[in-house]
Chains A and B, each alone.
Chain A
Amino acid sequence: MKMDRREFLRIAGLAGLGLGIGTGASGWILSRGIEASEFIPSPNALTAKRWAMVVVLSKFKTEEDYKRVIDACHRFHNVPDIGNPKDEVKWIWTDTYEHVFVGQENEYLPEEFKERPFPLLCNHCTKAPCVRVCPTKATFKRKDGITMQDYHRCIGCRFCMAACPYGARSFNWRDPRPFIKETNPSYPTRTKGVVEKCTYCVELLENGEMPKCVQASKGGLIFGDLMDPNSEVRKVLSENFSMRRKAEMGTGPSVFYIIGGGEEDV
């Protein structure tokens, strides 16, 4: 049979393509190992339709109050302390009013109010821009409203960091391990090249526990289901004036700040 070079290459290409598709398909079929029915949610997991957090600023009275909350989070999650603002990684931190509520400038606030630190963290937005832009769904929305982070899938493109209107995300510019003072053996570290942020302590929620910051806040942070009309967060929000950061962006943040200037019996 006479065949010219072009014909040969054409047939070889088609054969290779067929072989490749066939092998791939059968490999995929054979690798379906374990059925999903063997995976179940943990029996004592806390569930919600939309987790939210209310910051009761009046309960944060001393510097120690803020430090306790931040340390609880960062220690549990092996968040490194890099020590310089360029490479730093932070899941929860503080800043003052003019930097927190950026669209709400007010020069004539009470002086002590201008200096007061506000705790800042990921807002777990309902319409999270970070989730919209992630090319691999490494950051994704869970059914309970938490914006979750999958460190295994993250390719480190940092599009989510550009998209976040709140500056809530940190990138591991270096290997974090040398900068973790004391590792918590029940939680992994991360590695260089991935983005991380607060995850509302999903692992703890799924074991029936409240997030670490909430536990350490002595009532300063209230956490609950926004869609449950009987939850503590709903009660507190219905009785006090609250603000959210950059609400005009339409992101639907789930962190509320109750910042009344005086004493309220919250």
Chain B
Amino acid sequence: MYDGGKIITGIIIFLLFATFPFYYNIGKAHVKPDPKLDTPVIKQLKEKKCVESKSYMRAYHMQLLDDWRNQALRKANRTYRNEEGKLFEISLQNTCMKCHSNKQKFCDECHKYAEVKPYCWDCHFVKEAKEGGAAR
């Protein structure tokens, strides 16, 4: 083929780039994420229930948070009534993180595994037994 040398070299370089994520991570153990629910606040709850069901939150917590954000901040609706009729104050920091105060053992577990870096933590934070400054 014409310019065969250049083409084959190009293909090899492309393959090196395309398979990079795979061979770069050879040997790095990946543990299945194990989010922990044993915070002091959760332990004291009579009914261990989140705002919505576990399966719903797992799939849609980001959509829920987006809707919460828009309703609270832009429409001034700061109370949420879940599917069972229970009322919650809409606040990532004061509602969600009240129970799930162990961000690093809960939120970060799955986020790290999925290589997701939500920028929520640029502003929202949880004070994890550290004086001054916030945990990210």
Direct contact of A and B (CB under 8 A): yes
8 closest A-B pairs by CB? A191-B122, A39-B77, A39-B71, A185-B127, A188-B123, A188-B124, A42-B78, A42-B79
Kindly provide the distance from the CB of B114 to the nearest chain A CB, expressed in whole angstroms. Answer: 20
Q: What's the tally of chain B residues with a CB closer than 8 Å to chain A?
A: 32
Residue in A150, A187, A189 whose CB lies within 8 Å of B73:
A150
Contact with B along A141-183 (1 / 0, CB 8 A): 0111000101110000000000000000000000001101111
| Majority-rule SS of B interface residues | mixed
Q: Contacting chain B: which of A8-16, A29-37, A120-128?
A: A29-37
Interface SS majority for chain A = loop
- Least CB separation from A175: chain B residue: B122
Given the known interface contacts A151-B123, A185-B126, A188-B124, the answer about A33 and B60 at a Cβ–Cβ threshold of 8 Å is: yes
Assembly CA distance A155 to B68 (angstroms): 20
List residues 173-210 of chain A with CB under 8 A from any CB of chain B.
177-178, 180-183, 185-191, 202-203, 206-207
Q: Let me know if B73 and A152 touch, CB within 8 A.
A: yes
Tell me which residues across on chain B come within 8 A of A185, comparing CB atoms: 93, 125-127
Residue A76 interfacial (CB < 8 Å):
no
Q: Are B93 and A188 in contact (CB under 8 A)?
A: yes
Interface residues of A in 68-82 (CB under 8 A from B): none
| B76 contact from A151, A183, A206, Cβ within 8 A | A206
Contacts of B73 in A (CB 8 A): 148, 150, 152
Binding site for B on A (CB under 8 A): 31, 33-34, 36, 38-43, 45, 140, 142-144, 148, 150-152, 177-178, 180-183, 185-191, 202-203, 206-207
On chain B, the residues within 8 Å of A144 by CB distance are 76
Interfacial chain A residues near B134, Cβ < 8 Å = 177, 180, 183, 189
Tally inter-chain residue pairs, CB-CB below 8 A. Answer: 83
Contact of B123 with A39 in the complex, beta carbons under 8 Å: no
Are A187 and B93 in touch, CB under 8 angstroms? yes
Contact B74 A140 (CB under 8 A): yes
Tell me the nearest residue of chain A to B82, going by C-beta.
Answer: A38
Closest chain A residue to B89, Cβ basis: A42
Report the bound CA distance from A252 to B62 in whole Å: 39
Q: Are A38 and B81 in contact (CB under 8 A)?
A: yes
For the complex, is B27 an interface residue (Cβ under 8 Å from A)?
Answer: no
Does B44 reach chain A (CB closer than 8 Å)?
Answer: no
CA distance A36 to B133 in the complex (A): 36
